[in-house]
Amino acid sequence: MSHPEREQNRLMGYDYSQNGAYFITVCVQDRAEILWKSVSRVIKQWKGAITKQAGTSIWQKSFHDHIIRNEREYEKIWNYIDGNPLCWEKDCFYPGNGKMPVTNIENAGK
């Protein structure tokens, strides 16, 4: 099966190994609704490949998926992602801290 040539979608000279936010978009032919059944398997395989390459697991046990349906939801998610690192010292997994983790999107970064 031949595929059409695609334009390069990476920035020339950009170091993709540096810290940053990366988003993955998966498209299927004719927008077939097949992905919801296999998202968990795909994420598990992806995490496994990264773990194998890194030589150790760097992942939390699960993952969170959510369809962002409007601007308000987008802002809540953005604030959570932006503020979550600020909450690390409050997290129960922070060394020497027995508190419960911050998992509420509404309160992250506050």
Q: Does residue 82 have a pLDDT over 80?
A: yes
| 32 CB-side CA count, 13 A | 6
pLDDT grade for 23, boundaries at 50, 70 and 90: low
Q: Which of 84, 86, 42 is nearest to 65 (CA)?
A: 42
Average pLDDT over residues 38-65: 83
**With pLDDT > 70 as the criterion, what percentage of the chain qualifies?**
76
**What ranges do the domains of the chain cover?**
29-107
- Residue pair 94/88 in contact (Cβ under 8 Å)? The answer is yes
pLDDT grade for 109, boundaries at 50, 70 and 90: very low
CA pair distance 82, 98, nearest whole angstrom: 24
CA pair distance 79, 77, nearest whole angstrom: 5
- Per the rule left: phi > 0, alpha: psi between -120 and 50, beta: everything else, 94 is beta
CB atoms within 10 A of CB 109: 14
